[in-house]
Amino acid sequence: MKVYNHSYIYMPAFSMKTGTEPSLRVYYTLSDVGANQTVLFANPNFLRSIGKFWKSRGIHAKRLSTGLFLVSAALGLCEEVAIYGFWPFSVNMHEQPISHHYYDNVLPFSGFHAMPEEFLQLWYLHKIGALRMQLDPCEDTSLPPTS
């Protein structure tokens, strides 16, 4: 955890029942060892409000992705927001296979998230300048930037 310095760790304590116990365990473990990171839990009212907001804009899913919740929070807190990793398809723009999550290769449950709808809303925010969306890998400078 030292490599993360004084960063924030978002835990889904109240976004779903199965997230509460492991999230609290992370909080108490980091507290017990004196870690420099701050564990954050979203307010349940915020989670409900964000869900209603995006549903009113056409995102119909059992649950929004954690990424969309965090982008929503960042848009309310930060002057500039840059995002990466919100590509909703199984292959990238160069037809290479990619995983759904950055940490595993498990496909999403059908109907759980509405990734294409989330992507379209985020792409719209990118096009109007509300955030910057990076689609190509950040370290690959041989490809032209996405516009």
C-alpha distances (whole Å) from 35 to each of 1, 9, 12, 42, 64 are: 7, 11, 19, 20, 30
- Within 8 A by CB and 6+ apart from 125, the residues are 75, 131, 133
Q: Which of 6, 94, 113, 126 is catalytic?
A: 113
Does residue 100 carry a catalytic annotation?
no
Contact call for residues 52 and 69 (beta carbons, < 8 A) = no
What's the angle, vertex CA 116, arms to CA 113 and CA 118, rounded to 5? 70
- Give the catalytic positions in this structure: 113
